[in-house]
Each structure stands twice: as C-alpha cells, then as structure tokens.
Amino acid sequence: MATNTHCPYCALQCAMRLAPAGRIAVPAGAASGAGDSSAGTALEASGRDFPTNRGGLCRKGWTSPALLNSPERLTAPLLRGPDGVLRPIGWDEALDRAADAVRAAWERHGTDAVGVFGSGGLTNEKAYQLGKFARLALRTPRIDYNGRFCMSSAAAAGNRAFGLDRGLPFPLADLDHAHTVLLLGSNVADTMPPFVAHLQGARDAGGLIVVDPRRSATAALTGGGAGLHLQPTPGTDMALLLGIAHVVVHEGLADQDFVQRRTDGYRPLVRSLNAWWPERVQSVTGVPAELVRETARRLAEGVRSARAGLSAGGTYILTGRGVEQHVDGTDTATAAINLSLLLGLPGSSHSGYGTLTGQGNGQGGREHGQKSDQLPGYRKITDPAAREHVAAVWGVAPEQLPGPGLPAVELLKSLGRPGGVRCLFVHGSNIAVSSPDAGAVLAGLRSLDFLVVADFVLSETAAEADLVLPVLQWAEEEGTMTNLEGRVIRRRRAVDPPEGARSELWIMRELAARLQAPSTFSDDPETVFEELRLASAGGLADYSGIGYAQLEHDDAPAYWPFPAGSAGTPRLFLKAFAHPDGRAKLTPVSPGVPAEQLHRAGELILTTGRLLEHYQSGAQTRRVAELSSAQPEPRLQLHPATALPLGIGDGDMAEISNGRGTVRARAELTTAVRPDTVFLPFHFPGEQSANLLTQAATDPVSGMPEFKTSAVRVRVLEKAGIL
C-alpha cells in the first residue's frame, strides 16, 4: 500500500510516495532508498507531482527511507549510570527520572533553571505543544530553538518592513517565468536541488544573478550567458545591496508611484544611500563598479519587461542564510527589502521579494511558540491581549504564562552557570555540532545538572545526555508542516514505529501529568492541531480555517494566514502591508563593525555552508551509507594561490584554527573561492566540526549568530600519501 507524504529534509517539502520495495519505478541513476524499517517493511521513495518539486527529488530524498532501518536506531530510553555509561531502562523509570530532575532544578534554583531547545524540524503539532509544555508544565520562559540560527534575521527584517514574516509571500511557482532573479547567499543547487527548475525562466532570459563569495553550484548556473555571478568579500553583502540601491535611485530606476503610494521613509533612505556610489562599493566588496550598475539595471529591466507584457514574470529578490547569518544580518536583509521596495516588487502580481526557509518546518516551527518571545499565531509574548487569548485557549490565567526567555545563543551560554539553565530538554536538534562556538556549548552541556535529549539516534548531543528518550521518525507519525511558501501540508504515517520508540507528543503528555501541569496535553496530532487552530486564531499566522480533512489532498492548497471562513492567502501584500497603516517601512541601514577583526596578516576568512549529500548537523545523512560514502569527510576549499605559500597541496591534511578551536580537514584546491577566503561544510562532528571555529557573537535585533565570517589560520599537517 503506497503512502503519499513529504520529504523529511528541507523546506521545499517535496512530495513523495512511499511504497513497499519493488513496487515503484526509480529513475535510472537514482538511489532506490530501499530500507527494511524497524517494523519489518521495506520501503522505497519516489517523487510525486507537487508545485515545489514536480516529481523530482534530490539524493537525500531518494535515500530517505534508508534511515528508517538504521542499525543505530534507538528503541529504549537510555540512562547514564554512575560509571558514565548509558544503559537501557523502561519508560516509566525514564519519565520519573526526567520529572524528578525538573523538580530538583525548581527546588534548588527556581523555575528559570529549566530550559528547552527545540527545532525547525518538528511538526507544527510538536512545535506548538513544546512551547505549551515549557511554559505550563516546566513553568519556564527559557525556550528557544535552532531556527534562531536559520531564519531569525530575515524574520526580524520582514516584520520591520512589512509587519509580517513569511519566507516566500508568494507561491514558488511564480518564479517560473521570472525575467530576473537576484539570489543572495543561497546555494539552492546543493541545498534544495529541485528548486533549480524554478530558475530556468530567468536563466533563459539571461537574468539569473547570484551573489556568493564562492563559485558554488548555484553560481555556476549563471554561466553561458544565463546571468551574472557577483563574488563579494564575505560579510560585505550589505555594502553591495546599498550600492545597487544607490544606482536604482540615482539613475531614475525606482518605481516612484509605488514608493509614494505604499511606503514610508523614502527621503531618509535616499540620504543614507548617497554615500554608496559604485566605486566605493567596489573598494569595500571587491565587486567591480560596472557589475553593480549592471545588476541594478537588469533588476529594473525585469520589472519593465513584465509591465510591458514582454514577459509573464518580472523581477524577484531572494535572500538566504549567507547574507543573514551575521551580526548585522537583520540590517543586511533590510537592505535587500529596501531595494525590493524601491523597485516596487513586494505585493506585485508579477514580481516579489522573499527569503528561503531552510529547515523542513522552519516556517511553521517559528510561528507557534518555540521562540523565546512568541506565543502561537506569531503573537508577541509581551502583548497582554495575546497572553489573554492564548491563556483562554489553554484554560489558565494569563499571569500563569511566563514572560520572554533567552534567544538560543544566550540560552546556550547560560548552561550550568549561576542563574542559568541547569536542567535542559533538547528536541530535534544536535546543538553539539550545529551551534556557534561549539566547544563552549559542549562544555555547557557537560556542566548541566541533568540533560534530556529526545532523538531517534545517538547524535553527538544525545551522547552527552543523562537521559535519552527514543522518538519516532518522519514516516512513523502523522503531523503537519509549513513549507517555504507558507503552505501547510500533511506528513503521513507510512510504517509502524519500532517497539520502544514513542511520540514526543506522548512524552510531553506523560511528563505534564507527572509535573501536575494545568491544561491538557494530547498525544493525538489532530487533536493538538485543532487546539493550535484556536490558539492561532486572530494572530498574524492564523491557521484557524485549516482542518486535517482539508489537507487530505495536495490539490487544495492552504496558505496562511488562513482565518476561518477564508480561502487562505497564497500571495501576501497585494492590497496592503501588515502594519496598521497598510504601508511598508523603508529603514536606512549601514555596515557596522565586524564581530572580530578580519584581514590580519597570516589570517584568512572562514565561511561555512552545506554539501549536496548532507543536511544540517549530519545526524541523519551521515547514517545513510550512500550519502556518507559520497561525502565521508569535510574538505577545506582554498584557492591555489593561497595554498602555495602555505605549502598545502590538493588532498593534504590541513589544520584550521583560531582562539575558539582547531579543526582538521583535507584540502581541496579550487579557484571557486576567493584568495582571501576558505570554506568548510558544517555537517561533521568532533575535530572536523566547522562550528568549533565560528563565533557566538549575535545580531542585536534577531539574536542570529555570526556563522559566515571567522578569522582563521591555516597550516599543513600531513602531505597526501605521507603518514
């Protein structure tokens, strides 16, 4: 019996079909993804028609069933004994131990000593109930999640400019006929390959413009006259955007009618742009002044082409983590939004601005209560009306809800410290690998009084736990996800879970009962979703008009906001923006001081990113044999001109270090990187962990850490072939 569902990885949420092995045709050259699940059913994945992937899957999607039968699958709770060894125990004992640890933290240090770290990979139901569980059962404000490392700067910028944050405020298919697409800081060809098909129209028109310090697989798509690749120094994207906007204003390319009708702040913005003429931008970014001018003109040409009826689609500006994971990431995203508003893109029927959500439920995961400052429906936890609404749904008094907590980096910095978190619950996140300054995070985890990790394998974070709770995988449970377009979809149960694994909803229900929490906690996903609908009603992210029955088939799309009685909102801002006056806000921004000094003698700039075969911390993909064998280790990309004086050859083992840590990686010489830059993927643990080198400095608005620029020294350790 085949099951229609969606991929467990990125925010495209590609539609797939899972069926018993041998019953579906797999395209030539693609992995079958066959795996004998823990319940004894071998499954294969095939793509199915859906607007984001149109039947296609990437390597991760094709091989996703293999993880269901991983020999490393956890099937019993594990408790660390006095000798430091994790041993299996029963569920009653495990839950009792967890509840005892919470009560001990309350008694010794107060309720703020309990913390929760969630994930953008959790279903909407689990993300919603985790926020409720933290605030009512654990009685703590200290909850945040790994989406803080992903979308927070873009979200803050979107809320600042538009009054609302939804990654893509239009269906992804709108890109298909675009004349011009400016893509900044996102390597979609590796991170979400089916996305590339939506760029074909812009490539055919010669209008794909990619901004990336590396000649990534996505940047390579601009070759052969398909577009432009702008290769700025890492950390200078804001200056580049200011320069493009300067040209738009001073060459008369701005949409003055749109600016006057639908925005505020034009004159202060123009004054701030006067200082960023193209030649100055070239001196800061390394991007030639003429390319800055050409980019501005092409963006404007795309808008004119659509309005003249010469193309079905106009101009789109899309941002990704590469421009957002900086201490000035919110302002950089704001600069991109300012540029889009000057051109009249947001709220247009043929053009637009958006940001590309990364994690599978990166959008829904930040809407319903996992963030330290939010309640369900994208409500502010400090808003008395929001507190009253959610408290009424939960059946408690508003004063029973804690106030705002700590954003992720500050939460992790507090681990084990006086006044900080002493008992931590981790759900769906591998913070020992994925966090900035990972060595300090590991030290914090080891200083806790008690660490509880819910996972289905012994990830690097779970290996540090006092108690590990085995949970279900994507194909073993029901639930909803919200993809990068703001479209809510159903994820289906296709196979029975192994004996001993439990749903996180069930775990929260059982712990809430032991802790005598007010309200109710269900282990039924549909019941939890019905409550989520009520809690979100009237909020910015209103799901109240969406029901499970409506999500039964993909041909009835559900885009939020979807108030009860409406038809949803595939395209936002067509008539008004979400600020009370309906107008977008242009906000002047300017580059600040880097988090640490760069370009010192003997140092290079480290930037990090993803590989085609791996996902996030690699906890899943490193356990899929086909993916792991294709990319078994990280490789340090550096320019041959940089490697020569260092005595580093292709394939040599190199050491990359700074004051935070030291990493070993094999060298890969390539002209795809700038001579002042080196690149490491962040999917690997231990001495191969790129995040041992990254900074825990954060954006003051969003709390986003500085992942993309770190000063490092590089030296050769072992020559290839020499022991």
pLDDT tier at 309 (50, 70, 90 boundaries)? Answer: confident
Q: Is 159 inside a domain boundary?
A: yes
Q: Report, as an integer, the average pLDDT of 374-381.
A: 96
64 and 85 in a single domain? The answer is: no
Q: Report, as an integer, the average pLDDT of 237-245.
A: 98
Residue 647 gets the label, from left (phi > 0), alpha (psi -120 to 50) or beta, of: left
Q: Is 53 inside a domain boundary?
A: yes
Q: Is 586 inside a domain boundary?
A: no
pLDDT for residue 26 is more than 70: no
Least confident of 304-308, 421-425, 525-529: 304-308
pLDDT for residue 77 is more than 50: yes
CATH number (domain holding residue 129): 3.40.50.740
57 and 82 in a single domain? The answer is: no
Q: Is 584 inside a domain boundary?
A: no
453 and 477 in a single domain? The answer is: yes
pLDDT for residue 34 is more than 50: no
Q: CA 664, CA 654: separation in Å to the nearest integer?
A: 6
Q: Please report the DSSP string for 156-198 in residue order.
A: HHHHHHHS---S-SS-GGGGGG-SEEEEES--HHHHSGGGGGG
Which amino acid is it at 580?
P
> What integer pLDDT is reported at residue 470 of this predicted model?
98
- Residue 236 token pair: 């200078």
Which residues, in sequence order, are bridge partners of residue 718? 653
10 and 53 in a single domain? The answer is: yes
pLDDT tier at 555 (50, 70, 90 boundaries)? Answer: confident
pLDDT tens readout for residues 505-547: 999 999 999 999 999 999 999 999 999 999 999 999 999 999 9
Q: Is 560 inside a domain boundary?
A: no
Structural domain of residue 508, as residue ranges? 78-148+361-482+493-526
Q: How far apart are the first and last CA of the chain?
A: 53
Q: Kindly state the helix (H) or strand (E) to which residue 99 belongs, with its residue range.
A: helix 91-109
338 and 409 in a single domain? The answer is: no
> What integer pLDDT is reported at residue 23 of this predicted model?
52
CATH number (domain holding residue 30): 2.20.25.90
Give me the half-sphere count of Cα atoms (radius 13 Å) on the Cβ side of residue 549: 1
190 and 270 in a single domain? The answer is: yes
**Percent of the chain predicted with pLDDT > 70:** 97
373 and 329 in a single domain? The answer is: no
Give me the half-sphere count of Cα atoms (radius 13 Å) on the Cβ side of residue 231: 16
Least confident of 43-52, 125-134, 306-315, 424-433: 306-315
pLDDT tens readout for residues 243-255: 999 999 999 999 9
Indicate the number of domains in the chain: 4
pLDDT for residue 106 is more than 70: yes
202 and 178 in a single domain? The answer is: yes
Q: Is 340 inside a domain boundary?
A: yes
pTM here is 0.95
Q: Which of 355, 386, 413 is the last residue of a domain?
A: 355
> What integer pLDDT is reported at residue 721 of this predicted model?
72
pLDDT tier at 22 (50, 70, 90 boundaries)? Answer: low
**Percent of the chain predicted with pLDDT > 90:** 92
Q: Is 335 inside a domain boundary?
A: yes
pLDDT tier at 21 (50, 70, 90 boundaries)? Answer: confident
CATH number (domain holding residue 662): 2.40.40.20
368 and 405 in a single domain? The answer is: yes
Q: CA 139, CA 132: separation in Å to the nearest integer?
A: 9
> What integer pLDDT is reported at residue 722 of this predicted model?
56
- Residue 48 token pair: 């199915």
223 and 328 in a single domain? The answer is: yes
pLDDT for residue 25 is more than 70: no
> What integer pLDDT is reported at residue 41 of this predicted model?
63
pLDDT for residue 1 is more than 90: no
Burial of 597 (0-12, 13-18, 19+ CB in 10 A): exposed
Q: CA 642, CA 712: separation in Å to the nearest integer?
A: 13
Q: Is 488 inside a domain boundary?
A: no
pLDDT tens readout for residues 557-572: 999 999 999 999 999 9
94 and 202 in a single domain? The answer is: no
By DSSP bridging, strand 315-319 and strand 263-264 are unpaired
Q: Which of 69, 92, 124 is the last residue of a domain?
A: 69
CATH number (domain holding residue 333): 3.40.228.10
pLDDT tier at 202 (50, 70, 90 boundaries)? Answer: very high
pLDDT for residue 261 is more than 60: yes
269 and 400 in a single domain? The answer is: no
What letter does residue 687 receive in the DSSP assignment?
A: G
pLDDT tens readout for residues 328-370: 999 999 999 999 999 999 999 999 999 999 899 999 998 999 9
Q: Which of 473, 501, 526 is the last residue of a domain?
A: 526
pLDDT tier at 8 (50, 70, 90 boundaries)? Answer: very high
What letter does residue 135 receive in the DSSP assignment?
A: I
Q: Report, as an integer, the average pLDDT of 612-617.
A: 94
pLDDT for residue 625 is more than 70: yes
pLDDT for residue 37 is more than 90: no
Mean pLDDT of the chain: 94
Q: CA 160, CA 407: separation in Å to the nearest integer?
A: 18
Closest CA to 210 of 188, 245, 183, 234: 183
Strands, sheet with 3-6, edge to edge from the N-terminal-most edge strand = 3-6, 15-20, 42-47, 35-36
Give me the torsion for CA of 247, 251, 256, 260, rounded to 10°: 50
Which residues, in sequence order, are bridge partners of residue 17? 4, 46
pLDDT for residue 117 is more than 80: yes
